[in-house]
Amino acid sequence: MVTNVIGGTPEDIGVFPVTSVAAQVLGAKPLKPEKSFNLSGGLAFTPRDNVTFTVDYFRITITDRILLGATFDDTLAGSRFLLDSIGRTDIAGVQYFTNGMDTRTQGVDLTANLRVPSSAGSFEFTGGLNYTKNRITRVAPCRPCSRRTAPRRRASSTR
């Protein structure tokens, strides 16, 4: 159990395994293993005996990333109704781990190295630059958010 501050109010939130009734009633599914694929390559260039430049490219894709999902603690979408129906009146809401997204990270590393001889040995100067871009390529739908399990309350007005 953790205490989250939601809307300025502290709430006791249960963090449950996906196999628990509290998580399953709110749409938890068995976790799949994360899968990753890494592609990388680089070049080194030495124009002089004491100077080296390198460039490296990398791309990492991760599918079915496991992360802590949303906090289900609302009354309008029915989360509170469902928790009460299974006797979980001791908590304000539920969180569980989910295969929530896929990501792609790619970038380039550049380095330069200069070796300067001296009477005490040699000095080595190294500099590096990195550019990395992270992108979310898929977000899993929020199951309890997309299906109604509690009665709808609706209001309308006409002019």
Residue 159 structure tokens:
């002019």
Whose tokens are 């550049």? That residue is 110
Residues 6 or more apart whose CB falls under 8 angstroms from that of 45 comprise 52, 53, 54
Burial of 79: CB neighbours in 10 Å, binned 0-12, 13-18, 19+ = buried
Residue 146 structure tokens:
């997309």
Q: What is the pLDDT along the chain (159 residues), one digit of tens a residue?
A: 777 787 887 877 888 888 988 888 888 889 999 999 999 999 999 999 999 999 999 999 999 999 988 777 776 567 777 777 787 777 778 888 999 999 999 999 999 999 999 888 889 999 999 999 999 999 988 765 544 444 343 333 444
pLDDT of residue 70: 79
Nearest to 25 by CA among 72, 66, 65, 70: 72
Q: Are strands 93-118 and 9-16 parallel, antiparallel or unpaired?
A: parallel
pLDDT of residue 77: 62
Q: Give residue limits of the domains in the chain.
A: 2-138
pLDDT of residue 151: 39
- Claim: this prediction has a pTM higher than 0.75: no
pLDDT of residue 157: 43
